[in-house]
Structure 1
Amino acid sequence: MAEGIDPAPRRSGPTWREFLTAQAEGIIARDFVHIDLVDLRRVYVLVFLEHGTRRLHIAGVTARHSGPWMVQGARNLAVEWGIRADSLRFLLRDRGAKYTESFDAVFAAGDIQTVRTAPRLLG
């Protein structure tokens, strides 16, 4: 290269799809779903999906989601799981500002590592 910097080498590790397939039993992902009600109000649902079983957990529904509300939803889910959480190793989540250190700490307490998705470029 003209700048004296070679391109980064190709990674020899697994692709994202290979990682998800190999670790499916130990992965849980979280997301928000919004629902528009008949009276035109919008509510947000915090959901978690176990990749291995395709089991969906609803952790809470609210009209206004916030960092503290999300932490409480994570705690509720941890209580619901109880001993089953031992089989989970990774939590997939985006980089949203409402995911605070306290949210991640709920899962870290159960030895679940938070994996944030790559940032998306808008354009």
Structure 2
Amino acid sequence: MLLSTVYAVTRRLLSLPALLFRSDVSKEAELLVLRHENAVLRRQVPRVRYEPADRLWLAAHLLGVTANPTGEWTTQVARNFLMDTDLTNIKFLIRDRAGQFTDAFDTVFADAGLRVLRSPPQAPKANAHCERIIGTLRRELLDRTLILNERHLHRILTRYLEHYNTARPHRGLGQLSPSQAETGQPSPVDLASHRVHRRPILGGLVNEYQIAS
């Protein structure tokens, strides 16, 4: 065990000079491979324009919280998701290559008639919507909150995602929330004639604003 650890550390240290002094030709070759992988993914998933009703599917859903996301746990989460979701307008699932997404996980969606697409290695832009909401969660919630345990994490994520889907304005949706995108632009309100009520969410970490009755 000790020898294998020493070997792994030594190999990692010896690889550092190779990374620092890698030739431009080698770097360009890696870029060409990455561009090829992105091109393959684009051919598999044609670029589409999202209508407001389609954008509703970009709303965030919390499927579970665990400190050990094993393949068995992730597969069960997939089953739970399909039990509670209307698949009428869903055609495929895009996922990364993390180890917890096993063949059993893919089979759950394949049996439901969905096509499973794996993003290219080390290409986060291929699944940009997922990466964007992960960044939003970190900036607006997780970097500003001390997480006590799994139960606490589940509770604050549930509350924040409710705010994210129903009240938080999204620039990509014309300053609407995902739930408002389906019903359309709300009627303008003259704020000079109304009082505005501020409702703090998650102890004031974020706020929602409504016309006071």
Of the three residues 18, 30, 52, the one matched with 2:55 is 52
Deviation at 1:14, TM superposition (A): 9.5
Displacement over 6 Å in runs of 4+: none
d(CA) in 2 for partners of 1:20, 1:58 = 26
* More helix per residue: 2
Matches of residues 1-123 of structure 1 in structure 2 within 5 Å?
Answer: 16=42, 19-22=46-49, 52-53=55-56, 54-81=58-85, 84-120=86-122
Residue pair 1:86, 1:110 contacting (<8 A) in 2 also: no
Q: CA RMSD in A?
A: 2.9
Gaps of 5+ in 2: 1-35, 124-213
Deviation at 1:108, TM superposition (A): 0.6
SS at match of 1:104: helix
* More strand per residue: 1
Structure 1 residues 92 and 20: alpha-carbon distance in aligned structure 2, compared to 1, 3 A threshold: farther
Deviation at 1:78, TM superposition (A): 0.4
Structure 1 residues 15 and 109: alpha-carbon distance in aligned structure 2, compared to 1, 3 A threshold: closer
d(CA) in 2 for partners of 1:102, 1:76 = 14
d(CA) in 2 for partners of 1:100, 1:64 = 15
SS at match of 1:57: coil
Deviation at 1:20, TM superposition (A): 4.3
**Identical counterparts, % of pairs:** 31
State the TM-score, normalized to the length of structure 1.
0.56
Gaps of 5+ in 1: 1-9, 26-50
Q: How many residues align?
A: 81
d(CA) in 2 for partners of 1:104, 1:89 = 14
